[in-house]
Chain A
């Protein structure tokens, strides 16, 4: 069971890394607007090809 002495700190380390990643994403402004991205994903990435060319 002494593997626990390694596993638990590793788990905690992972937790710390994910918190740091989250903090970064917050400061990056990725979570400021939670309303638009879920709608944006429903748009077609590119409109049909003949429209995508710039006028």
Chain B
């Protein structure tokens, strides 16, 4: 039995003299609240249950999206165990889950303390970077399904996790880069120490033996630094020349290469200036910038492998008389599969038994559940809502609609041309400029002697090396990512920021993005006294429309409490599937449902209601009739409600020069209606869009510089990837979140204008940084050309320029001030309770 369901029994026995948990006679063991227990075990169990219950309650109010029942029993199956569970030498089992809904550090406390509360679970380790957690447990004491269930109850639905090749490679590169960075850092630090001695020697004189030793040691360290970690610059520069694309590393390789060769020659000769300290520092600082940059990219890769978990990993197959759970790979065409309520369809096929409702929102973006009966086609990835059904498998894996969509996403990702980094573009011009300057310098100084001309030119090439340039962009972007994350905006790539700073088109998905995605009561016309009774009737029905009516009515009517409504005694409840429900209240017969249900029961529909229905359906709303004793007396109109503040964001986006459009898989008239409500022009509201249509729409460049797609479902994923910038909204499918460049964690599209403003500011700051770093280079070049350069000068100039760039990156605010005030993490504050 799960631990959380016991709490109701627990609270009932509070106040008795018996053990508050198990009901055995109390043994004088008390907790802080004065509850009595029979043993210390019961006391801790009680404590834990109470805390869990509190945490769960607070979570359920903040995260209402976990309404589907799931048992996770497939996790106890040997097939699952073989694939995902590792048995450790100490006979404990270990598994790694991807956890949904991990978005704040307080989740850490909740999950890592689970072993204190769940007997048999020995350790839980969270990895916030990857969004995964590893659990070690004793299989003889607790089944894995219970651990999974507890996680889900706490608001972190777990999915089995398999590391794919891509994330392993990413890890290997990360480690490699870190080691290179460490070597470069150690070399740079030590060369600098020696350089200080050398510079001091210039003024006070130094014994030749010491001088020679210092010069050789710094040459050795410099060579290690350049040949080891610095190798990457030369490789990149060669590649850039081969492919004829500009790259930041071309001027770097030029300066570092010439500086090193010159330095070696001079060390051996024993005369002349050496620049190894500047060179080593340069390599170290540039590698730091590069590390920051690839770290940003890795974040995107690490979480991407979730796409696969959209279809279940196991299926319940009926073979002969027997029902057996098989892994999804073992599923064959024409298999008979059973799907329980709350489960996901594992394949495309046809229903052969039972009737139910399916939630297709993941695939179509359509929030209204679809009624399925024997003979209806069903699609993999959609969720069975109300009752168990059986289906015959017709398409599997990549052949399914979902599989095709995911292939589409992958193709779109492969075709997206990456933005050539701003610094790389500058790097291209930079190298040409430096070479021209070097030649000019050579010509000017030729008159004063060949040797001096060469010496001056080499000095120029070294000091012109764009060190701060390499730090300028990644630093600002890293800082911005950090600050955005605090506002619940996850930015995966720096490209997105650069593209958002331009103007262009924004396409908004309707369901889930502009609207809340959940149905609500829009209007109730007719007899209001029936509301509590309707509420009581619909409470017994699991259909989503019924649920929507219940929640909206409860919200509307504060005076009659839920409990009061539940006390209303309705009898003789009969559900006609997909149509509505019939019940008896006192002497009255009450009907709640569609027009068809009214026709079946031969109910009279007054004309005024008829007109209201026509009006409602033209606005894309759904009508539910409420009839009493053969006459319709009320009409409830349901629809998707707009997210608050959407109109104002459309207005402000339009004002700042963006063209806003609506792109939806929903019916045209519904889309037009919503467009009118939020102020999107008619010709930019496109309905009936399949995922392919959406993809095509966002790939058509036209005159716009940047095309932004904002969406939430799997049906948007391909478009999110293909658009210049894809922005996913929380509350939708995790797949869309992985496809997008930016992820709005709070599901609040009203953050968009603020984000765009911030992106423009960030780009300005990046430009400022580039200008600052380039002016230092220009200053250094001027000094070199006038013959005033010296290794000491270079050693001072370079760190100063890097420091300036660093302070520009951190100084001041990036987001508009008013928006920052709304950042209270109150939504998650409850989790710190544990």
Contact = CB atoms under 8 A, between A and B. Distances in A.
Given A26-B175, A51-B48, A43 B113 contact: yes
A16 to B, nearest CB: 8
A55 to B, nearest CB: 5
B770 to A, nearest CB: 28
- Complex A-B, nearest 8 residue pairs according to Cβ-Cβ distance, in ascending order: A35-B128, A39-B105, A55-B45, A55-B119, A33-B129, A36-B128, A22-B182, A35-B129
Contacts of B45: 55
Given A1-B207, A50-B47, A40 B112 contact: yes
Interface of B is mostly: helix
Interface string A11-41: 1100100110011001100011111100110
A33 B175 CA distance: 11
A51 B47 contact: yes
Contact of B182 (A23, A42, A54): A23
A18 B109 CA distance: 33
Contact of A55 (B117, B127, B175, B189): B117
A51 B127 contact: no
Q: Could you say which of A22, A34, A54 has the most chain B C-beta atoms within 10 Å of its C-beta? A: A54
Contacts of B47: 50-51
Interface in B440-484: none
Contacts of A54: 44, 116, 119
B806 interface: no
Interface string B619-647: 00000000000000000000000000000
Nearest to B183: A19
Contact of B44 (A26, A32, A51): A51
B179 interface: yes
B43 interface: yes
A50 B43 contact: yes
Contacts of B207: 1
A52 B213 contact: no
Contacts of B31: 50
Given A32-B127, A50-B47, A51-B117, 6 more contacts: A11-B190, A11-B193, A15-B186, A31-B178, A33-B129, A53-B41
Interface in B161-198: 171, 174-175, 178-179, 182-183, 186, 189-190, 193-194
Contacts of B43: 50
Interface in B37-93: 40-41, 43-45, 47-48
A8 B213 contact: yes
A10 to B, nearest CB: 12
Given A19-B183, A51-B48, A52-B116, A39 B108 contact: yes
Interface of A: 1, 4-5, 8, 11-12, 15, 18-19, 22-23, 26-27, 31-36, 39-40, 42-43, 47, 50-55
B126 interface: yes
A21 to B, nearest CB: 10
A11 B214 CA distance: 13
Contacts of A12: 190, 217, 221
Contacts of B669: none
Nearest to B834: A47
A44 B299 CA distance: 29
A27 B174 CA distance: 11
Interface string B566-579: 00000000000000
Contacts of A8: 194, 213-214, 217
B210 A4 contact: yes
A12 B190 CA distance: 8
A36 B108 contact: yes
Nearest to B106: A39
Nearest to B51: A51
Nearest to B42: A55
Nearest to B220: A12
A33 B116 contact: no
Given A36-B126, A47-B113, A55-B44, A22 B179 contact: yes
Contacts of A39: 105, 108, 128
B651 interface: no
Contacts of A33: 127-130
Contacts of B40: 50, 53
A54 B171 CA distance: 36
A5 B212 CA distance: 11
A1 B407 CA distance: 71
Contacts of A50: 31, 40, 43-44, 47
A26 B179 contact: yes
A23 B180 CA distance: 9
Contacts of B221: 12
B102 to A, nearest CB: 11
9 contacts: A4-B213, A22-B179, A23-B179, A31-B178, A32-B171, A39-B128, A51-B44, A51-B48, A55-B117
